[in-house]
Structure 1
Amino acid sequence: MLVGNIYVISAIAVVGGGLFGFDISSMSAQLNEQSYLCYFNQGPKGPPFTDEKCSGPHTMVQGGITASMAAGSWLGALISGILSDRLGRKYTIMIGCLIWIVGSTIICASQNIGMLIVGRVINGLAVGIESAQVPVYISELAPPSKRGRLVGVQQWAITWGILTMFYISYGCSYIGEKDFRGWKAAAWRVPWALQMIPAIFLFLGMMVLPESPRWLARKDRWEEAQSVLALVHAKGDLHHPFVALELQDIRNTCDFESQNRHVTYLDLFKPRMIHRTVVGLFMQIWSQLTGMNVMMYYITNVFAMAGYSGDANLLASSIQYIINVIMTLPALMWMDRWGRRPTLLVGATFMAIWMYANAGIMATYGTVVEGGVGNVAAQSMEVKGPPSKALIACTYLFVASYAPTWGPVSWVYPPELFPLHLRGKGVSLSTSGNWAFNTALGLFTPEAFANIKWRTYLVFGIFNTAMFFHVLFLFPETAGKTLEETEAMFEDPDGIPYIGTPAWKTRISTHKVAQMEQGHVGDLEAKAVPGSASPGVGQESGSSSEPGIGSGSGSGNGTKTKEG
């Protein structure tokens, strides 16, 4: 018996995002822990850990350890498109769970840095698969008016994963003594073993969830596709108007794309696709260049420079994880009303402000510490007194700005950009951009703090400024539109060639879609949507037919407007 409640489906599926969160805080919580620093010590006296104060891995090596997961995720995201198109969204997610269990086993059993890196690369493969395909899976099942909220739950799951694993790691830090003689490896082995639990839960949970109806349709399994749509959207009623409407949307799209059954990643770079490919890719790239994951991975280093150490550092760091969880909620509740564009623009503005503020505080009040605070080179400066509190406040405010904006939207947006036959590969390519830059930033950040110091914040402030203008001019609004309707926005014959409707002219259409979902099809068929300029579903770009709102990839929701 399959589960049909879309909220339950999303709650189970987004545990895949929780795996990413577990990895982030499992590393950030260990960076200043005695057991981790001594076991993987590369200090002056190195193994067998005879230093009076273990300094842990060298700066570049630590960057490599952190970035190894992201490097694996980059590859996982790319291969996920191929797996997803062949095996389906559901079974691809389940494969990712098995890979995560293998990687976590190697990590918690690590005997040296090499083994730790191998385990994190394997874990990364799993995270890349899950982060690319969970949003696709949910977006292809969710009703349009709730799609942003439901896909955005993935970001909320990430924040919960971060918070949960951080406190697990904090509790396990009390295993053994917190000095260079009495530490025990179990302090990091136990939390890294426990991170297998959500993967086991996700694997078992996916067994009772349906497959994506759009993937089933592409495989000509129409009866199953209709059954899934009825189960999820109409409590099993195969004859509900919205089920018929949605099925016709999918059928017309599949008919139109039947000549594109065999697609490759190169198809994403053809003239009619290049714009949305670049937008999707930069959606994920910019989400990394905000500097948020730097705050997540290396926050204990930032707070060490603000004068916090030991338990005080861990507790202060955990506050930002709590902020991250709480501040993601507004986006889940209102993202579909706010729209994607305003959310991204507001987020970029505030994040730039806090990054510039941190750069100014460090440049004005910070003092350089030779060798770094606590002999950690990445902790290259120290701020004391009121400026240190201002630094922490701006860090918290940065997290509070990211959590309801770029965090959830970065997962919601890419699946909405691509047509059905390219959605799996398009989202996997977009997500690979996330992980490629995550890898680069994992390597860059420790070295940046060690060498260019306060200017590290300045770099991210400039990135946030640049992304504001990119969104303003080139990111169209996708909120409230069916996936097929979004396709027509890019094919608008009256728009900009190869781009479609100009981004600043696109609007939210939640009210219209909500009517569809409630079965008020007759009202929609009776009148056209004011300002609609795109062809109806199943019509080729440039068709002279009137725009419509019912059954397909038109700028309405597909059913053609009645003539006359």
Structure 2
Amino acid sequence: MPYYISNIYFITAIAVVGGGLFGFDISSMSAIISTQQYLCYFNQGGITDDGKCAGPNSDVQGGITAAMPGGSYLGAIISGFLSDNLGRKKAIMIGTMIWCVGCILMAASQNIGMLVLSRFINGLCVGICSAQVPVYISELAPPSKRGRVVGSQQWAITWGILIMFYISYGTSFVSGTAAFRIPWALQSIPAILLFIGMIFLPESPRWLARKDRWEECRSVLTLVHGKGDPNSRFVISEFEEIKQTVEWERNNADVTYWELLKPQMINRTHIGIMTQVWSQLTGMNVMMYYISYVFTMAGLDDTLLVSSSIQYVINVVMTIPALLYVDRWGRRPTLLIGAALMMTWLFANAGILASYGHPAPPGGVNGIKEASWEVRGAASKGIIACSYLFVASYAPTWGPVSWIYPPELFPLRVRGKAVALATSANWIFNFALAYFVPPAFVNIKWKTYLIFAVFCAAMFFHVFFMFPETAGKPLEEIEAIFTDEVNGIKYIGIPAWKTQQSLGRATALEHGEISAAEKVSDEHSPERLEEATKV
């Protein structure tokens, strides 16, 4: 077997750079759209009363921003086929090559059309990587660490946002088009590093099993979970479970996208899709792509980029608690608390703007027409505080869990396609919102916040009644939550709000406290069946 990295944390650190690419793209746009270099080069609105360039029209700017998630939607759909046929690892490597092409075109953009095309190409990569990196990591990770390592994708996104924001801030002092061409070109560096790093990572053992590459499957399990010992109890148990699952699925199902709409699959398909949809409808896009508009309305003229960057620091720092404790907290409580908190800050922002703000002069604040509402004094500090608190609420909750949860829901035979479909829903809503927000700020002003606050309230109830707990359960056993029969074993389903996380058994097995034989021997016991419905 060639040399491969065996430590799951090092594997994760390399793979999640794919998520970091999305972060780079977010801030390379959000930090640049308010600079005069960008506004003048892509100017459509002429010169404002204070002698500044107006930049692209609001709907055009929405289209420029939305081109990336538009490409990501297509990339996510394609990724299911790439991943199932070529492997999780090769799909991610293909994505990095596409990203480099997009960065070259983006840095060389001569007009808005070329900029839109380059961002669409970059989006293809983001769609592929954002869909398949969580699948890849979840299929390699042990159950007790799965939430932590898959959630690292969100942390990588926050780091990408932060690093590229400060690079863009630094180049904003450069005159001419180099102010935005330099950061757009530098985006290619992490993709090159990811491609090189992936060479030294093993393929998913579950994908290898589906391709009847059993010796390679066992070798990867031994490498990552057995510390080189093929007789490790956990390695034996995982290998047997994977083997049984693959054989049963091969005899009982044909794998197509239509499989996701069958009666025993439609419920989890809807949950996986809505997890990604709700993560977009939280309103986080407002804070990420267009925070410069929000803070301009709040009067932060001289320190706009620095003030905006603070939220990116908060995003990085507040994601850490989720990585440390999400497997203990569970998925449901994390999502419920996040929805409630974000709803609170969004309603507060809407209330402050409505009560203490007033319409901006024609043309918007400082000539930025999207900054169509103005608030000053103590009320503006309230807007800034609620914006920061919103980010601090999203970062440890919906941010990481929206990537952790969907790969856990689906059986191996459809996991690649199912997560691709769920992620494509993320990107199509990302596309819609990126296009929607600039005109919304122009036309309905502060009421934009009300829309997202209502969405947060709706997602709270949806999660409570429909989203079961999956934390700590081996992927092959999560099937028991959604169906009456798994590998010929009968289970009894219970309502989503009664499910609980259970890490004890999975952790004990990983540490060799339960043998594979003991695990198999009690598989049909009443206690085991009861546990399966609770986890």
Quote the Cα distance in structure 1 between the aligned partners of 2:376 and 2:211.
63
- Number of the residue aligned with 2:247: 255
Specify whether residues 554 and 337 from structure 1 end up closer, same or farther in structure 2 by C-alpha distance, changes over 3 A only: closer
Q: TM-score, normalised by structure 1?
A: 0.91
Q: Secondary structure at the match of 2:345?
A: helix
Q: Secondary structure at the match of 1:413?
A: helix
- Number of the residue aligned with 1:37: 39
Q: Once the 2 structures are TM-superposed, how far is the Cα of residue 51 of structure 1 from its aligned partner?
A: 9.6
Quote the Cα distance in structure 2 between the aligned partners of 1:259 and 1:426.
20
Q: TM-score, normalised by structure 2?
A: 0.95
- Number of the residue aligned with 1:477: 469
1:414-429 equivalent positions in 2, closer than 5 A: 414-429=406-421
Specify whether residues 387 and 237 from structure 1 end up closer, same or farther in structure 2 by C-alpha distance, changes over 3 A only: same
Write out per-residue CA displacement over residues 416-464 of structure 1, whole angstroms, 9 at most, x where no aligned residue.
0000000000000000010000000001100111111111000000000
Match of 2:285 among 271, 293, 306: 293
Q: Once the 2 structures are TM-superposed, how far is the Cα of residue 235 of structure 1 from its aligned partner?
A: 1.0
- Number of the residue aligned with 1:123: 122
Quote the Cα distance in structure 1 between the aligned partners of 2:461 and 2:533.
25
Write out per-residue CA displacement over residues 216-274 of structure 1, whole angstroms, 9 at most, x where no aligned residue.
00000000000000100111111101000001110111111013564211110111100
- Number of the residue aligned with 2:382: 390
Give the conservation status (yes or no) of the 8 Å contact 2:237–2:516: no
Write out per-residue CA displacement over residues 37-90 of structure 1, whole angstroms, 9 at most, x where no aligned residue.
0000001369xxx99310110000000000000000000001100000000000
Quote the Cα distance in structure 2 between the aligned partners of 1:436 and 1:266.
20
Quote the Cα distance in structure 2 between the aligned partners of 1:524 and 1:343.
35
Specify whether residues 213 and 554 from structure 1 end up closer, same or farther in structure 2 by C-alpha distance, changes over 3 A only: farther
- Number of the residue aligned with 1:5: 7
Specify whether residues 302 and 219 from structure 1 end up closer, same or farther in structure 2 by C-alpha distance, changes over 3 A only: same
Quote the Cα distance in structure 1 between the aligned partners of 2:73 and 2:335.
24
Write out per-residue CA displacement over residues 329-386 of structure 1, whole angstroms, 9 at most, x where no aligned residue.
0000000000000000000000000000000001011110122112222110110000
The higher relative CO (CA closer than 8 Å, separation ≥ 6) is in: 2
Q: Secondary structure at the match of 2:512?
A: coil
Quote the Cα distance in structure 2 between the aligned partners of 1:455 and 1:243.
55
Match of 2:441 among 449, 452, 460: 449
Q: Once the 2 structures are TM-superposed, how far is the Cα of residue 319 of structure 1 from its aligned partner?
A: 0.2
Structure 1 residue runs without a partner (length 5+): 177-183, 530-535, 537-544, 558-564
Quote the Cα distance in structure 1 between the aligned partners of 2:526 and 2:424.
36
- Alignment pair present for 1:406 and 2:398: yes
Match of 1:377 among 369, 372, 386: 369
Quote the Cα distance in structure 2 between the aligned partners of 1:69 and 1:165.
16
- Number of the residue aligned with 1:229: 221
Q: Once the 2 structures are TM-superposed, how far is the Cα of residue 16 of structure 1 from its aligned partner?
A: 0.3
Match of 1:246 among 227, 238, 243: 238
Quote the Cα distance in structure 2 between the aligned partners of 1:254 and 1:291.
40
Give the letter for the 2:513 counterpart.
Answer: H
Q: Once the 2 structures are TM-superposed, how far is the Cα of residue 501 of structure 1 from its aligned partner?
A: 2.9
- Number of the residue aligned with 2:267: 275
Specify whether residues 223 and 129 from structure 1 end up closer, same or farther in structure 2 by C-alpha distance, changes over 3 A only: same
Match of 1:18 among 12, 17, 20: 20
Quote the Cα distance in structure 2 between the aligned partners of 1:499 and 1:394.
44
Give the letter for the 2:386 counterpart.
Answer: C
- Number of the residue aligned with 2:179: 187
Specify whether residues 257 and 493 from structure 1 end up closer, same or farther in structure 2 by C-alpha distance, changes over 3 A only: closer
Structure 2 residue runs without a partner (length 5+): none
Q: Which moved more, 1:505-514 or 1:276-285?
A: 505-514
Specify whether residues 185 and 527 from structure 1 end up closer, same or farther in structure 2 by C-alpha distance, changes over 3 A only: closer
- Number of the residue aligned with 2:174: 175
- Number of the residue aligned with 1:546: 525
Quote the Cα distance in structure 2 between the aligned partners of 1:488 and 1:517.
21
Q: Once the 2 structures are TM-superposed, how far is the Cα of residue 483 of structure 1 from its aligned partner?
A: 0.4
- Number of the residue aligned with 2:352: 361
Write out per-residue CA displacement over residues 152-205 of structure 1, whole angstroms, 9 at most, x where no aligned residue.
0000000000000000000001112xxxxxxx0000000000000000000000
- Number of the residue aligned with 1:532: none
